[in-house]
A = this chain, B = another copy of it.
Amino acid sequence: MRFLTAGESHGKALTVILEGFPKGVRITDTAINSELEKRMQGPGRGGRMQIEKDKVEILSGLRNKITLGSPIAMVIKNKDAKINPQNKDSLEEKNVARPAHADLAGSLKYNEKDINNILERASARETAARVCVGSVCKQFLATFKTRVVSYIKQIGSYQTNKTPKDIDFIFKKTKKSKVKTLDKKDQQEMLKQIEQAKEKKDSLGGIIEIWAAPVPVGLGTFMQFDQRVDAKLAQYLMSIPAVKGVEIGAGFSYADKRGSQSHDAIYYSKDKGYYHKTNNSGGIEAGISNGEPIVIRIAMKPIATLAKPLDSVNLKTKRKQKASLIRSDTSAVVACSVVAETMCAIALTESFLDKFGSDSLAQIISNYKNYIKTIY
């Protein structure tokens, strides 16, 4: 399985082609649109998000909601398209690089002076196309009861002290919360953080925890470095704009612990098969899923565009100039959590298809059942 996205922030449309997805899977555009809507919600979003409402159009790969095994092409039209692929458009030239964006490094790499030609593709709007793929993958994983969910662990200086007991808990709690928190108090505190930052015309980042479960033991392998499912998840999650850290299970806190305190002892029972009572490994050992829930945290940096801009330089004049203001969200942590679930669902679907084949759902189910029998 592989996919390519295309599209600029103010281009005509975002496009994505998903290739190698199995035949016979039921996929609805309503499920995709629901994920797209989640990506646009969340507190701390500015003006554009309010009016914009992304809708996917599926161009190919399905008949009557069932996949054909052929490439799935999906398009999201932009309502405020400004770029004209074949003619001169009205986008005003921009020459001042905004810090923490692609503007400077992108302009130098591609030898460009009009920063529009960099920022339009570098924009996080591209992630809407990924969300379409993620939703398709979630619908596939659901066939095996696998869910990928997430909650906000930290916004600004407030971090929750709750820990979810299982994936169902996260699923139920976050469904009710527009900040995707585990309880009301967390929600209140995080909204306060956003309110305070907004007043100061400042922006915030945060920490998101993603869970996937149940995940069958045996996805990924240690046989070659690039076949490990932890490495793939790290790549896919770090590829999300603004994400600067990824940790699995106990992650960075492993450093503080001794082996005897942190390694997950192994148990067996007839009905559960092999299992662990703890999950510091976050469901992955030696690059293979071990059957426990996959638990990953990612760190998101504060939104780069500030209402009170930082020092910068005009790339044409090379003179000092304040960065221009383009958008004014305070926080996009909730949106980022949807994209994080997306990239996680894609990575797991790929690993799943690697293990169980990918021609048709019927064959995958049959291969899957055969395998599951062998692991008890």
Kindly name the residue among A100, A297, A371 whose own CB sees the greatest number of chain B CB atoms within 10 A.
A100
B60 touches A286 (CB 8 A): no
Residues of B within 8 Å of A2, CB to CB, are 4
- Residue A15 contacts which of B7, B17, B122 (CB distance < 8 angstroms)? B17
The one of B24, B217, B255 in contact with A109, judged by C-beta atoms closer than 8 angstroms, is: B217
Tell me the minimal C-beta distance from A135 to chain B in angstroms: 14
The CA of A226 and the CA of B20, in the complex, are separated in Å by: 11
Complexed CA–CA distance, A114 and B149 (Å) = 36
Assembled-state Cα–Cα distance A256/B232 (Å): 27
CB distance from A259 to the nearest CB of B (A): 4
Known A63-B84, A197-B258, A255-B206; contact A69-B306, beta-carbon cutoff 8 A:
no
How many copies of the polypeptide does the oligomer hold? 4
Name the segment of A140-148, A162-170, A177-185, A359-367 touching the other chain: A359-367
Q: How long is the Cα–Cα vector from A71 to B73 in the complex, in angstroms?
A: 14
Give every chain B residue within 8 A of A12 (Cβ-Cβ). 59-60
B258 near A302: Cβ-Cβ < 8 Å: yes
| Given A108-B218, A108-B375, CB of A299 within 8 Å of CB of B254 | yes
Residue of B nearest to A362 (CB): B111
- Per DSSP, chain A at the interface is mixed
Q: Which residues of B contact A151 (CB under 8 A)?
A: none
Q: Which of A34-42, A45-53, A261-269 faces chain B?
A: A261-269
A345 within 8 A of B: no
| A349-376 Cβ-contact flags toward B at 8 Å (1 or 0) | 0000001110110110011001100110
Bound CA span A101–B17, Å: 25
Q: Does A106 contact B (CB under 8 A)?
A: yes
Contacts of A91 in B (CB 8 A): 63
Q: A239's contact among B6, B101, B155, B230, by CB below 8 Å, is which?
A: B230
A224 in the interface (beta carbon within 8 A): yes
* Pairwise interchain contact B104-A285, C-beta atoms closer than 8 A: yes
Do residues A265 and B231 form an inter-chain contact, with CB atoms below 8 A? Answer: no
Are A252 and B285 closer than 8 Å at their CB atoms?
no
Which residues of the partner chain B approach A355 to less than 8 Å between Cβ atoms? Answer: 109, 357, 359
A188 interface hit (Cβ, 8 Å):
no
Give A68 to B20 CA distance when docked, in angstroms. Answer: 28
- Chain B residue, CB-CB nearest to A276: B99
